[in-house]
Amino acid sequence: MTTHLFSPLQLRGVRLKNRIVLSPMLTYSATNGRLTEWHLAHLAKFAVGGVGLVFMESTKVDPRGCSTPKDLGLWKDEFVAPMQRITSMIHGSGAVAGIQLAHSGRKARCEPPWEGRHQLLEFPGVDHGEPWELIGPSALAHGPEYFVPRAMTRADIQQVVHAWGKAAQRALRAGFDVVEIHGAHGYLLHQFLSPTANRRSDEYGGSLPNRMRLAIEVVEEVRRHWPADKPLFFRASAVDDDGWSLEDSVALASVLKAKGVDVFDCSSGGMNTPAVRDRPVLGYQVPYAERIRFDADVMTMAVGLIVHAGQAEEILASGKADLVAIGRELLHNPHWALDAAVALGIRDPYGLVPPQYGYWLEKRAKGGFDRCLSTGTDGVPTHPAPVLSD
């Protein structure tokens, strides 16, 4: 059976084996910006499980931009070699390796979520214990429980732009195939885009084109350091709760496409409330991806409560998006891609995963073991287990 979910996608010189993407998700497990064994164990599950594009979590271009003291970083050359181990593992499992590059701006210097997520009054800097200064477009706090950042000077802005470019250069040396620029969820680029967080009166504030200027400059700088044959994604909050509209996102996507962005990753929220809320509606952000795809004529990635194989297939088949990014559902089931392949009836679903798994799982299915999982009302298997030899 031919499906859209398991159709390959060519993005510049990079070919994805399917349209399933591990959404970048912070795990707050780094030490002074450095990878730990956790990251290898964490990402290996998804690469082995059949995901087409595996994204490294939000990785900071500047130590001041870390959300927490445990964020991952790429602001130093010495961070490159450990990441090569990650990309080698992802490639060896048949997947494409992506990394999201970010800066938290005024939302930096917080506790991890399970410790309360409160902003820390003071904390030694992540890199080497330096003073950890909060910066943002304007001297306005993110909310009542946050501290007021220092308004960035033009020199600060250019330093951040440069840092994004250098991080992209390091990502290339580390072996990544895809870079995503994080411009959503109330972080630095979103802060500059916002008419409420950004109260500047210079060329980076005021009108929509001015507020888009930093995002454009970051994309241009990253593209200068990121090869023309490798794709570039941009994650945006398509709408937020404080003045940024879907029409603004369409305008942004149109401009960024012309600057070299290949895929617009459509999330939402995060300016004054958490980026993810408890919403009972499956695929609640998919309409944003559909609208931007149509109006800006750019490829989009849908994200947000995409949990079922048939749901993901419908999103792609109906032209609402080009890729589906899955986060928490993959945390729950790292082999979601394999389950989806079986559910959708694709040919050779077990070929989706490495043979160390696929050979035995296919043998299990052909040998009738799936039937043995069926039990009667008393919990006793309804079929005897077949005997298989190696």
Can you spell out the DSSP letters for 243-272?
S--HHHHHHHHHHHHHTT--EEEEE---SS
| Catalytic residue status for 187 | yes
What does residue 350 show for φ and ψ, rounded to 5 degrees? -75, -10
Calpha distance 348→359 (Å, rounded): 11
Calpha distance 65→71 (Å, rounded): 9
Calpha distance 326→21 (Å, rounded): 6
What does residue 10 show for φ and ψ, rounded to 5 degrees? -95, 120
Point out the catalytic residue in the list 146, 187, 204, 288: 187
Give the torsion through C-alpha atoms of 124, 130, 135, 141, to 10 deg: 20
Contact indicator for 111, 104 with CB cutoff of 8 Å: no
339: amino acid identity, one letter: D
Contacts of 144 (CB under 8 A, 6+ apart): none
Residue 234: name the closest of 290, 298, 174, 176 by CA. 298
Q: 154-174 vs 80-92: helix axis angle to the nearest 10? A: 50
Contact indicator for 174, 84 with CB cutoff of 8 Å: yes
Q: Which residue has the tokens 């802005």?
A: 157
Calpha distance 5→314 (Å, rounded): 9
Catalytic residue numbers read 187
